[in-house]
Amino acid sequence: MQTPAPFGYQRATSVSHAVSLLEQLGSEARLVAGGHSLLPMMKLRLARPEHLIDINDLVDTLSYIKIEDNELRIGAMTRHSELLASPVAGEHYRILHDAERVIADPVVRNRGTVGGSIGQADPSEDLSAVFCAAKATIVITSSSGTRQVAARDIHDGPYETVVGDAEMITEVRIPIRPGGGSAYSKVERRAGDWAVAAAGVCVWLNGDTITDVGIGLTAVGAPHFCAVDAEASLIGRPATAENIAAAAALAAACVNPSTDQRGPAEYKRHLAGELTKRALHKAVARAQGKES
């Protein structure tokens, strides 16, 4: 039987209550939302917090998907299933639905949360690559107020973020910009598994010219989940097959995958390039209104 080691349990009744509990209980306390990453790690003793602060009662304040100030705003307690079912999310960022469709399985998606996925910072996590591609901002709340960190700056290594001991992730903000298209391509061993490799792309076009692009990669050891050289190679250039192929090669060059049970490093490097290419083509086609 897999059971976590003993810990104290409290329920937060508000965001301010949650952060005050984090302040009181110190660095060995953790928030638990869906628990579908933290509880398995606790069963295996890979994580052993002394206190869990359950924030599931905060769904009324932290579960939402809305447009405000020309941004798509996603509350941290939004479940994966809710993001997948959200028409407004899919209307502006198809990449969100592409990715959510291949995150775990429908029952796990009923429980896991958007904020939890970011906070877990698993190097194979899908939404981390998505939010980096979308150039999203993460809102972090503490007792002294809120601060915003670019999704690209929130990771501080595997399972590590810049979120402090007494801070919590409360929202994701993605700017709504004209001329955009997005897509996510993932290879997994079986339905619902973690990625062998995956690439997310958000592209913005003016005519056929790429005015901006974000390329996120997961499970392949890309620095901060991003392929910045590949992005730079495309900005200001036409979205041709040649330019996309060259960018995909740069994406493959920036990764540092590990050989493991999901495959050899060279295979994953190949996937990083190939999936970047596929996601770029699809995102461009969507930006041009050519593909649903």
Partner 1 sequence: MEVNVTVNGEAMHTDVEPRVLLVHMIRDQLGQTGTHWGCDTSNCGACVVHLDGVPVKSCTVLGVMADGRSVTTVEGLEGPGGLDPVQAGFMECHGLQCGFCTPGMMMVAKSLLEHNPNPTEHEIREAISGQLCRCTGYDNIVKSIQWAAAHQNAEVSA
User: Which runs of E-coded beta strand occur in the chain?
Assistant: 8-11, 29-32, 51-54, 65-68, 71-75, 137-142, 145-150, 168-175, 180-188, 195-206, 209-218
Give the long-range contacts of residues 144-152, CB within 8 A, separation 24 or more: 146/170, 148/173, 151/118, 152/224, 152/225, 152/226
Select the span of 69-77, 107-115, 142-150, 219-227 touching partner 1 (CB under 8 A).
107-115
Out of 105, 156, 208, 260, point to the residue binding partner 1 (CB under 8 A). 105
Least Å from the CB of residue 106 to partner 1: 6
For partner 1, the closer of residues 110 and 209 by Cβ is 110
97 binds partner 1 (CB under 8 A): no
Measured distance between the N- and C-terminal CA atoms of the chain, rounded to whole angstroms:
46
* Burial class of residue 31 in the structure, from the number of CB atoms within 10 Å of its CB (0-12 exposed, 13-18 middle, 19+ buried): buried
For partner 1, the closer of residues 78 and 142 by Cβ is 78
**What secondary structure does DSSP assign to 201-251, as a single string?**
EEEEEETTEEEEEEEEEESS--GGGB-HHHHHHHTTSB--HHHHHHHHHHH
Q: What is the distance between the alpha carbons of residues 274 and 267, in angstroms, rounded to a whole number?
A: 10
Select the span of 48-56, 156-164, 179-187, 245-253 touching partner 1 (CB under 8 A).
48-56
Q: What is the distance between the alpha carbons of residues 227 and 120, in angstroms, rounded to a whole number?
A: 21
Contact 213, 193 (CB under 8 A): no
Q: Which amino acid is at 104?
A: A
For partner 1, the closer of residues 23 and 54 by Cβ is 54
Out of 17, 48, 111, 278, point to the residue binding partner 1 (CB under 8 A). 111
Out of 20, 23, 108, 162, point to the residue binding partner 1 (CB under 8 A). 108
292 binds partner 1 (CB under 8 A): no
Least Å from the CB of residue 78 to partner 1: 14
90 binds partner 1 (CB under 8 A): no
191 binds partner 1 (CB under 8 A): yes
For partner 1, the closer of residues 111 and 147 by Cβ is 111
Backbone angles phi, psi at 161, to 5 degrees: -130, 175
Residues 233-272 touching partner 1, rule: CB under 8 A, are none
Out of 5, 88, 235, 253, point to the residue binding partner 1 (CB under 8 A). 5
Q: What is the distance between the alpha carbons of residues 7 and 51, in angstroms, rounded to a whole number?
A: 5
4 binds partner 1 (CB under 8 A): yes
36 binds partner 1 (CB under 8 A): yes
Least Å from the CB of residue 3 to partner 1: 6
| Footprint of partner 1 (CB under 8 A) | 1-9, 32, 35-36, 39-40, 43, 52, 54, 56, 104-108, 110-111, 191-192
